[in-house]
């Protein structure tokens, strides 16, 4: 899915009128210099923001983003499934993005919210602030086909959601992360984490992202895996793995293998066919050999999106 060569795109950007600060950039598929995209919002009508066409060329996705518009294009490419997680360099992205108040009247600088509310009241319009963040919710910029998202606030632009993915109300998907096939997400897919097809993250299940502790180890989940409710992993899982509800396995966790030997979590990272449980008598974490035939994957009826 990687893109080779130079990438050019035409988009639309909002800027703060008073300071000239660029707030965002929207790159709809199919936009061109002959048919530039256009948006409108109440913040523009009230003179708080101004909109303009922006053109971006990325010569090499392996190089870090150059500015805000470049960074937004990379996030769009991820959410449009034109590149996969980890196929674009996102080093320094937070330093390039503007922290915005994402409002029902459009994105504005946080210090402009009171002025916006006052101006909007003059024309009888309320203003709701849904978030203050550097990365907006995905659905305001990209809606990939074949997915269901119960709470749009919990999926950031730059998330990669494969066809057949369902993100339930408590599910969360960060940027440069997501699903590679049909999946049920009721837990958290942190930045950098990828989940294979037919896997299920139970309610409040957690995955340790590359941003959590500044580490470079990529946590991934293979196909036909199940993370039980309130479980979590800081290691990679291969295919056909199950983690017991409530069990958190990190790289340093001491795990007893079927032969009685004890290893650390990092020593079994990426292996397939594991059943990870906590012994209810001793409290020790144990790895048992799972029977792949017992895990049939997520219910296909839930993923006809």
Kindly list the catalytic residues: 186
Mode of pairing for the β-strands spanning 254-256 and 262-264? antiparallel
Placement of tokens 């990529």 in the chain: 218
Q: How far is CA 229 from the centre of its chain?
A: 20
Residues contacting residue 223 through CB under 8 Å, at least 6 positions apart: 181, 196, 197, 198, 199, 239, 240
Dig out the tokens for 171 from the structure.
């599910």
In which order are the strands placed within the sheet that holds 248-249?
172-173, 188-189, 206-207, 232-233, 248-249
The per-residue DSSP string of 256-289 comes to E-TTS-EEEGGGGTT-SSEEEEE-TTT--EEEEE
Q: For residues 207 and 45, what is the distance between their CA atoms, to the nearest angstrom? A: 42
Which pairs from 259-265 meet CB under 8 Å and 24+ separation? Answer: 265/234, 265/235
Which region holds residue 92: left if phi is over 0, alpha if psi is between -120 and 50, else beta? left
Mode of pairing for the β-strands spanning 274-278 and 285-289? antiparallel
Q: For residues 247 and 36, what is the distance between their CA atoms, to the nearest angstrom? A: 51
Of 156, 203, 150, give the one whose Cα is nearest residue 177: 156
The per-residue DSSP string of 129-146 comes to EEEEESS-BGGGT---TT
């Amino acid at each position: 899915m990687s893109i080779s060569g130079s990438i050019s795109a035409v988009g639309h950007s909002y800027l703060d009128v008073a300071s000239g600060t660029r707030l965002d950039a929207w790159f709809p598929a199919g936009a061109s210099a002959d048919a530039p995209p256009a948006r409108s919002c109440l913040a523009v009508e009230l003179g708080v923001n101004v909109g303009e066409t922006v053109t971006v060329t990325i010569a090499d996705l392996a190089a870090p983003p150059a500015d805000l518009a470049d960074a937004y294009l990379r996030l769009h490419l991820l959410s449009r499934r034109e590149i996969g997680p980890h196929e674009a360099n996102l080093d320094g992205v937070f330093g390039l993005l503007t922290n915005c108040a994402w409002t029902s009247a459009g994105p504005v600088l946080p210090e402009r919210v009171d002025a916006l509310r006052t101006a909007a009241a003059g024309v009888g319009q309320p203003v709701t602030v849904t978030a203050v963040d550097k990365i907006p919710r995905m659905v305001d910029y990209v809606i990939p086909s074949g997915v269901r998202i119960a709470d749009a606030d919990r999926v950031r632009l730059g998330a990669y959601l494969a066809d057949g993915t369902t993100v339930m109300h408590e599910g969360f998907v960060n940027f440069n992360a997501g699903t590679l096939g049909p999946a049920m997400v009721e837990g958290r897919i942190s930045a950098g984490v990828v989940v294979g097809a037919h896997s299920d993250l139970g309610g409040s299940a957690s995955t340790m992202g590359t941003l959590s502790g500044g580490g470079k180890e990529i946590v991934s989940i293979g196909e036909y895996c199940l993370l039980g409710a309130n479980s979590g992993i800081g290691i990679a899982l291969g295919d056909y793995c199950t983690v017991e509800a409530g069990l958190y396995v990190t790289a340093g966790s001491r795990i007893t293998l079927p032969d009685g030997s004890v290893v650390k979590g990092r020593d079994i990272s990426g292996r397939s066919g594991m059943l990870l449980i906590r012994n209810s008598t001793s409290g020790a974490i144990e790895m048992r050999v799972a029977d792949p035939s017992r895990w049939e994957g997520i219910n296909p009826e839930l993923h006809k999106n």
